[in-house]
Structure 1
Amino acid sequence: MNFEKILQKPFLIAVFVFNIILFGVIVFLLGYVQNLLDNDSRNNLEEIVSQNKNVITSKLLLDLNRLDIISSKISDGLKNKNITQEAELNKFLEDYSKNSIDDSLFLANKDGIAYVEKRIPIDISGRRYFKLAIDGISNISERTISRINGEYIFVGSVPLYYDNKIIGTIQKIYTEKQMNELFAASLFSSKGYMYVINSEGYIILHTKHINCALKSDNYFRDVYEYGNAEAVRKMKEDIKANKSGFMENVVNGEKTFSAYTPIEQVHDWYLVTSVPTDVIAENGNVVMKIFYMVMVALVLIFLVSICYFAWNKRRQKRTLEKIAFVDNVTGGNTYNKFLVDVQELLNKGTDKQFYVLNFDVDNFKYINNFYGFACGDKILRQIYNSVNSWMQPGETAARISGDQFVCLLLDADEKRIESLFSSIRGITEENLMLHFSAGVYIIKDYSENLNLMVDKASVAAQTIKGVLNQHVVYYSKQFDDQTARNEELKRDLKLAIKNDEFVAFYQPKVDINSGKLVGAEALIRWQTKDNRLIPPGDFIPLSEKTGLVTDLDMIVFEKVLAFLRRSLDEGIECVPISVNFSRLHFANESFLPTLLQTMERYQVPAHLIELELTESAIFDNFSIIYDFTEKVREYGVAVAMDDFGSGYSSLNMLKDLAIDTLKIDRAFLEEAADNEKRNIIFVSVVEMARKLNISLVVEGVETGENVSLMRECGCNIAQGYYFARPMEESKFAELFREGKLC
């Protein structure tokens, strides 16, 4: 196993490093190529737009200049005639229009009265081109409808001066065909196209191109409908600031680059030039090919990585299942596996009669002490193999612990069981005489707790320990007395809960360097009405079997919340208090909502509460507790793993589980065959917790030597008799108020 891990680590590192390098290369390559493409696109398009603007501007200004020349000639004519009266001026303008040989040319006085084709007087005072010209701004109008023939026209308009005052305007009519000739230039092999728009986005002119098939008469609205609202916003801002700009867009499913710029010489006109991206930059196709090749390579790499990690995770799962379900001594089923298998059999609702056989080897400790543990383990394997070969189809067996075994049988005849023990006695090479004590429980209620069934069989077996020539006893009514006593205790427990006889004791957590109180663990005690204190060992095991432990946990939880609330109201600087919770809570979906509602009721800040879960409880309910810890930590409640290091799954769970605090099992402090190795392991755990940003608390600190060992290993928080025993709330309140233990 160790060799396999050693081989595995370099490969994982290599995959990780390779993926990072590949990702970096891809990002760099895509960034470089994209910059190349964008630069080509911008440079080419900006150059084209500039050229188009110059051409169009030149043509437009040429006509406006012609109008300015005519305006100057008219002004000179007025000066020669020395006309000063407004009526005479208007008469002169009217006569000039009537005598003009160019039907597209007409004048208007300052009131907007003009003579056009057939010299019919019309009022153009409301026309925008007239208003701009009368204000001194030469301009060309947007597309408008002629009042004479109803055709679309454009009107160029310049001011008419006399004696340095504007006395009217001179206009020239351009047909739509004439204006469109301005856009006759071919752009990018006729794949490019242009618009002229005003500041509000309304389209004045556009080239003849399939992508100019307008959805509306407003360019902003068209771009918005193509799904590019951000481009519209930016373009409006640029136009408002009279700036040029650049944008990407998708037109008819084709990605395009568009550049826009104001036509300064023509009031309120903006030129927009658009070109498909695959035309404007020769590198476009290359970019796409490189991109797809990179993406395909990336997907393949990640698929391989995902497959590997999925395989590795399944392998880890099989390893965990092997640890949980394969006994490390016998190589057969563990007790957990036995419970799972038996529960499946009972859930099928079969009409078969089942029996639970629980047996162990009398004085097996003597064999371990005299012959050694290797011999003892060998005998345990031989026992399991004999039982496994002896059983019928549909039966199963497991080693519970030590030398204790359990079987689910379809036939529990005493002679059959005696034959099993006889066959086992003949397998030992050491010629040892093995004696067995066995109890049989007849399953009548399939819904009964399996552990309770096994316990009943065990209780029966204990009654014949040391009795000669009797190896099997059946659980019967005589054992019900013990059950009755348990029921009586159960009733007493329920009554004690009702009478509020359970109290919280507190054992401080101390900083060994400063003596400062940094927290506490709440522990339950049963204080009867006559003030007798019943220790947990007398009632907790039964409460766990009966499920009452969940009620006891919530009692302690509420008492802790009430204590913290009182302390906060008194202005005391509180430290977190941890509360233990049984694994039975996690079968209840309302557990977490109940916790949060209770905390809300007492208005206790979440950071003052820590939930303690044992390592074994976490392992047995890992998926449920994983979800639970993820949710509860969202609310700011800390989670602690109790008895860390007492089981086989601690490290494996840490990589997946969100844990705030590890409570080190007292076994780390005990003298070992090799104290140096013990210290190395202790220091490694402390360092690991620090790197994972997990707090560390050492339990069971009872001696000065324990404290010294903690200091040597860099661990500062202790809980144990050396500093304080669990104490009642009134005494702890004084300590809580002071905030320091020693």
Structure 2
Amino acid sequence: MTIDRSINLKNLKYLIAGLLAIAAAVVCLNVFFIASLKNAMNQEADEYLGEISEHIAAMINERVENGFQTLRTTARSLHLFDSEEEMQSYLQVVGEENNFSRITFIDPEGNGYASDGESIDTSNEGIRKAMRGEENVSDVFVAADGKTSVFYSVPVYENDDSVAGVLAGTSSVETLKSFLDVESFGGEGFSQIVDYDGNYVVQSDNKNAVKGYDNHFTMIENNGTLEGGKTIGQVREAMAANERGTFRFDNRNDGVTRIANYISLAVPDWYLFSIVPLSVVSAQTQVTIDFAIAISCVMIALFIVVLFLLYRNYRKSNERLETLAFVDPVTGGMSRLKFEMEAEKLIRAADPNVYAMVSLDIQKFKLINDSFGSKAGDRTLRYIAQVLEHEIRHGELSARISGDTFSLLLKNAPAEELGMRLDRIAEKINGFNLKEKSKYILPVVQGVYIVDDPALSMIVIQDRAGVARKSNKTNSGKLVSRVFYSDVERIRMVREKEITDKMERALENHEFVVYLQPKYELEHDTIAGAEALVRWDDPEKGMIPPNEFIPVLERNGYIVELDLYVFEAVCGMLRHWLDKGQKPVPISVNLSRVHLKDSAFLMRFREVWEKYDIPADLLEIELTETLVFENMETLIHIIDEIHKIGFTCSLDDFGSGYSSLNMLKDVPVDVLKLDRAFFLGDMGERGKRVIEGVIDISRRLQMGTVAEGVENIPQVEFLRQARCNMVQGFVFSKPVPMTEFEKLAFGRPAGEDWEGEP
């Protein structure tokens, strides 16, 4: 018995020792597992934050590249404009459509021509770099409108690839703020843009961002320390080498440890810092770890269960991270980040025109929040999200993007079928208050982009749907209104081809109509001349304005035939007046620069003039100021030939571009036409002195003067005192048909048998 008891005791000792060994092994395994789990969770949290940071950086880089691309495209178009006014209007439109508060052309002499007409400082380093052929983004500065802004600067090239100036676009850094507000980690995470020195370029408004600092590194140094022995200097060295990385830092003031991920951006010396409190990503992990330690200490025998629980909680923690990053906190559906990631996968794997991106906005949604409170508004947003989720099919997506704006990625279908589907969605969205006594509708505005290029970035794809939605001007009072994105360049090319195809027929059918704008002589208050202007009366589209077809005809060369057509119409009109016993007034006709390609072009004009046998001094040839700078020698020769025939010659648009008083001594024109740019807005005392000086010099050179674009009586009186010869502008008359001009000039039509055709 003693031996048995001794054996049992020994066995018990062995059992206890074995159990203790097993327990120790389990404890060691648990400790090792917990430490490994913590490292894995930290690494996974770092990776999640890195993915989000990389996605935001890609969106910002895409926006910056779009800004450069807009300026490059605009720069290649500047040579098409003959006047500063046209160029300024064009730059203003481009700026409004592409989030530039101002676009400025700076010539090599440092003169700036801004889209808003304001002067700018053209001496900054960014513009000097662009003058050397380097595209760049300037340092941050405070613009005239009070917004923190940057310059995007690109060189403008001449045909010989030399730099002819700089095109600079002023863009508020606030346009980048929407990318920093991408929902992540349930709104606890945030991103900021800093420069190499740590100064904030764009600072986040997130509740977790420490306020009151202008410098990110100063904020860290004053409030906390970096973990793992890292220093700000090491971080800056990694940034300078364009390395990306992650570090943790403890905030002494609030006791919160934060994870920070940094990545360089496309703009030199710009870096994106994405930050999230460690507690957000590790809260569930910490619960799991504490629970596992307690179980391992109390129930060693159940270590398998503990391991199972750890694994289960590990999975839950994973799901929690995904929920924070990929679930919309209001609707419970996809977050914007998740939508963009999933949509990109579907679009990249599909052929062109398979998918349609729809941007959907609920109009008057603010009424719900104002009338019933934000909780009712959130309930409505959840209802809308549920409707969209119910309506989408396999391989389609829906998500709330921001506020009351949603995005849908739908399978494409014929326009009518797709439209009916989107109409049905709008009707179901408005089912949220069918049971209410006081029913009201929420108009739904939709923008649709058929994804014809799957290689485009998600930013561009969503932007095109957004552009279509924002361009909707017909949604007033309607349940649903919809606009499909249209490729402006494609439409322009189609329109240009249509004009080209119609040109010969239009000339043959005399669809081009000559209008006359009177020139009023100030000394005698009479009509002393007129300018011939052309209009296109298309039998299908009606009256087409000159700015729509003249540039096209100048590019394809048809302007030569049109100019001759107008010249012959004017000659016929003057012949008609002479035959009816009227005393004609001289008529001026415009001459396109395209004529200069043919040194003998004046022969055709002479043949037409001789055909109608009218006094040569009744005809005036108008040359644009830009011709002076293209080939001065050729231009002077042409003017001499014009004078030999007997026609007078005028220089149009003086003051619209690079006007130089010096050129007046070399260009022997008879009349100088002051451009309308002189008379825009308030001329001011300095402006008046300039105009008086030009008129006085013209008079001394025995040149007549005509002021164009004059629109009010005070300007007329000033020009009368300045001894300007004639005025042309809306203050007296817009361009009118020939019969109306005859009533103005002669008091009655010259006859009924003239139709105004050559």
Alignment TM-score, normalising by the size of structure 1: 0.40
